[in-house]
Structures are given as structure tokens and as C-alpha cells.
Amino acid sequence: MKKVISDILLVLLGNAILAFGYAVFAIPANLIVGGATGIALTLEKIFYIDYTNIVFVINMMMLVIGLIFLGKSFVAGTLLSSFAFPIFLEIFENISYLQNISHDVLLCTIYAGICIGIGLGIVFRRGYSTGGMDVPPLIINQKTGISLASIINVCDIIILFMQIFFSSFEGILYGIIAVVISNYVLDKVLLIGERNIQVLIISSKHEQIADAIFKEINRGCTFMNVTTGYLHEPQHAVLSVISARQYPHINEVVLNIDPTAFIISNDIHSVKGRGFTLPNIDL
């Protein structure tokens, strides 16, 4: 129950931030945008219907299509977003103060990209979709096996081009900047709290190093069989995954034990297991 409540609150928060970026920064600045909002803005210019109503209709249509092709689990995960996003759009659009929060187009572009990226990231981190134009890429990916990221990018490019005829050249250029910023921020939000460092230590004193990692750094480790390249001697290497803030400590510990140790480190993401997503074992 706690997880369900947490998911609902975070999906609502993500949709609120996403809608805020569109309604307060992107749309008042006449920026071109992707997704269902981009299609709605194009249709608004043709049929003179408020874009928030069009977004709601698109979301409902995509929800039905998703139910047919992707099943009930997809609908359960996106139903809340399909209703919440257009409602938040309507709310923010009707607050007159927010519609005039800034007249600087570059500032609106930057903050539109930031808000859209954060909003999408929060929803995606919970394993849900924002609905709308997420559906066609998911169906195409399922039926053809083509990369989901590639399909989403193609769909967004098509939607952006649809708005070229109703936007100024500067609006197009600023819109592209907003899309780039939002994609960058989205990637960062998805990786928040997930950055760790994998350390591989090759040393003849591997037992002492492993013991020090257990006791001083409170991390586990694994022995790997390696063969040295110069002398062709069999040896053990110590593999451990640590947080970024522990990296200076493990360096100091290892070099105090063996100043000639060979240490290889690289960034990794999404670590699962003891000490990360599961409690430590008291040894």
C-alpha cells in the first residue's frame, strides 16, 4: 500500500512538473514541442480548439489503442498520467500570473527543457508511462523489434516538423534547444542516486585487500581468476562496487597495503543486491 501511494504521488508530481514546463514556459514562448502536446498545438491552429482538450482526447485514444495492443498492465500504469497531465495543463493555463512569468524566450526555453525533463524522469523512474504519444513507439517496438529510442526520436521529429508551418524560425530554433535540454535532464534524473563505481584491483595481496574492504569500507567483493600478461602467472583480482564518495577511501586503503597494486575503476549504474538494494549481512 505504501508503494502504491508513493507511486501515485510521484506520478502526479511528475505530471504536474511536466505540465508546468509546457503551460508556463514552452507554450507562452511559442516553442515547438514533441509528444501529444505538439500534435495538439498543431491541431489548435487548424481547428481553433483549445489544445488542452485535444491533449485529453489524444491521451484517451492512445489509452484505448494501448489496451488493444499492449494489454491491461500498460493501461493500469498510464491511466493516471492520461488524466492528470491534461488537468494540470488546464490549471496552469488558467492562472494568468503564470502565463506572464517571463518574456525572455531563452529563459523560457531553458526552463521548459528542465521542467519537461524532470517531469518525464520522475514518471519513468517509477516504471510508468506518461501515455499519449508514448504508445505508438511501444507498439512498433513490440511488433518489429526496432529500438524504442530510435522510434521515439523519429516520432518527435515528425511532430516537430508539423509545427514548423505555425511557428517562427526563432521559435523552431529555441524549440530544438528545449528538446535537447529536456533529453539531457531526463537522462540525469533517471540516473540520480544510481551512480556507483566498479573497482578491479590486481595485487598479490588480494586477501589483505579484500579483508580491508570488508572491515574498513563495509563493502563486499569478489575474487576473479586472472593471469598476468608479463610473467603469465595465475593470480586473483578483487572486484568491488562502491559509492562515488568511497572511491578515495578505497584507493588509500589499497595503496597502503600494496603500493604496486593495479587499480581499474569505471562508472556503473543500476546496481542491485546486498549493500545497495538489499540490507548488508553482518559478518
User: Which stretches of the chain drop beneath a pLDDT of 50?
Assistant: 283
At residue 264, the pLDDT reads 92
Separation of alpha carbons 135 and 124, rounded Å: 14
Residue among 186, 23, 170, 19 at smallest CA distance from 114 = 186
Does the predicted TM-score (pTM) go above 0.85? Answer: no
Cell 589483505 found at: 208
127-179 tens-digit pLDDT: 777 777 878 887 887 788 776 657 777 887 888 888 888 777 887 888 888 88
Q: How far is CA 224 from CA 65, 117, 206, 247, in A?
A: 49, 40, 10, 20
253-282 tens-digit pLDDT: 999 999 999 999 998 866 666 665 566 655
At residue 182, the pLDDT reads 85
At residue 27, the pLDDT reads 86
At residue 224, the pLDDT reads 92
22-54 exposure pattern, b = at least 16 Cβ within 10 A, e = fewer? bbbbbbbbbbbbbbbbbbbbbbbeeeeeebbeb
Q: Are 92 and 98 in contact (CB under 8 A)?
A: yes
Q: What is the mean pLDDT of the chain?
A: 84
The DSSP H or E segment spanning 202 is strand 196-202
At residue 112, the pLDDT reads 92
At residue 2, the pLDDT reads 83
Packing angle between helix 135-144 and helix 51-70, nearest 10 degrees? 30
